Amino acid sequence: MGLVAVDCFLLHHPVAFYLFYSLSYVFLTYYLGNNIAGSQNHTRDVKEIKVIYDEIITNYNKLNRVFDLNDPVEIYTMYNYMVYKGYLSKDKNFELSDKNSRDITLIYGANVINGQGVCRHIAIMLKDIFNDYGIDSNIVAVTMPSNVVVTMHKDDDKTIKTVDEMYDFVRKYINNEEQQKVFNEKIEQINEKISLSFRLEDKPNLIGRITGDHVITLAVKDGKSYTLDPTQSRIYKLKENDKNFLYDSETDKIKIHYAGLGFFGLEKYKNIKLIKANILLPSSSVEEDQVLIQRISKLCENNQDIFEQFYNDNSEMYNEISSKLMLM
């Protein structure tokens, strides 16, 4: 379609003609490559991984039923805890990284089990948990408003006291994977009390501004929608005066990109219309969310023995998925 449009409308504008002609071929190449890569979904190994992955998701939802979790915020909060404490990863260790990721449509979430992942893996695994639990869920692509530059310094008045709090701070405020890795390595080496602070800088990434540079999970239950960011442990709300943006206490400039979902193969194009409608539904209040987050966080801290048992019961399947993924 792009090539036809170029021939029809830009033939007499040489600069624009060659620019858009080249772009059209880039997108055509991407499209063909993506479809060829999509054939991986039908290989025997992928199907075997999918069967094991689905069994783990089913087992995980037994935990949600044990704790009688029904609200999407409750489920999201426990999932966050489980991911970052390593209970859903082989060797009980999870790292925010995509250096060994295997981006295959059917099994994006399996990367979390392999011990590494970024937003597209973490958000999709949460989506899979919701859908298996009977809660409608999809992925939403967004553009975060700016780069976050975090600095580490001594400050007795604003000291972050625990290592876990520092890790949470880095995960929440740094959307750049390399920066996250650097700070996490520094935190591991720290023997004294420090504090972290951040500032925002404009980001120059044009592609990210067009298609989105981050993905989150949308859940719908009882006529309410929930826009959940398990990667950064944040919950967003839809802006009243501009339905193209989400906001939370840190920023009100999180741009929604529906087209990016289909472009990167994270959702089928036929689902985008439904996602647009669902995201407009009413949502819970910030105060309601906080009550649930505090309650479930406490519940998690008091039931680590159950999570340990879950990990032990599923660790053999974790190792099997990891072995198969690393051979692909």
* Mean pLDDT for the chain overall: 81
Q: Given this model, what pLDDT does residue 177 score?
A: 60
* Span between the terminal Cα atoms of the chain, in Å: 34
Contact 122, 79 (CB under 8 A): no
| pLDDT tens, position by position, 153-166 | 555 555 555 677 77
**Higher pLDDT pick, 93 / 16:** 93
DSSP at 144: -
Output the six-digit token pair for 211. 């298609």
pLDDT at residue 196 greater than cutoff 70: no
If DSSP codes are grouped into helix, strand and coil, which group holds residue 62? helix
Q: What is the mean pLDDT of residues 173-195?
A: 65
Q: How far is CA 31 from CA 26, 27, 103, 186, 262, in A?
A: 9, 6, 16, 41, 11
Alpha carbon of residue 41 to chain centroid? 21
Q: What is the mean pLDDT of residues 64-79?
A: 97
Position 312 pLDDT exceeds 80? yes
Instruction: Say which DSSP state 159 is in.
Output: -
pLDDT digits (tens, 9 = 90+) for 132-161: 999 999 999 998 876 555 555 555 555 555
Locus of tokens 């992925």: 139
pLDDT of residue 51: 96
Which pLDDT value is given to residue 42? Answer: 56
Q: What is the mean pLDDT of residues 53-76?
A: 97
Instruction: Please give the full DSSP string across 199-236, using - where no structure is assigned.
Output: EEE----HHHHHH-SEEEEEEEETTEEEEEETTTTEEE
- The reported pTM is 0.75
Is residue 110 within 8 A of residue 325, CB to CB? The reply is yes
Q: Report the 3 state secondary structure along 266-283.
A: CCCHHHHHHHHHHHCCCC
Angle of helix 72-84 versus helix 119-132 axis, rounded to 10: 130
**CA–CA dist 232, 235 (Å, integer):** 9
Pairing between β-strand 95-96 and β-strand 116-117 as defined by DSSP bridges: parallel
Please say if the pLDDT value at position 21 is more than 60. no
Say if CB 101 and CB 109 are below 8 A apart.
no
Percent of the chain with pLDDT over 90: 48
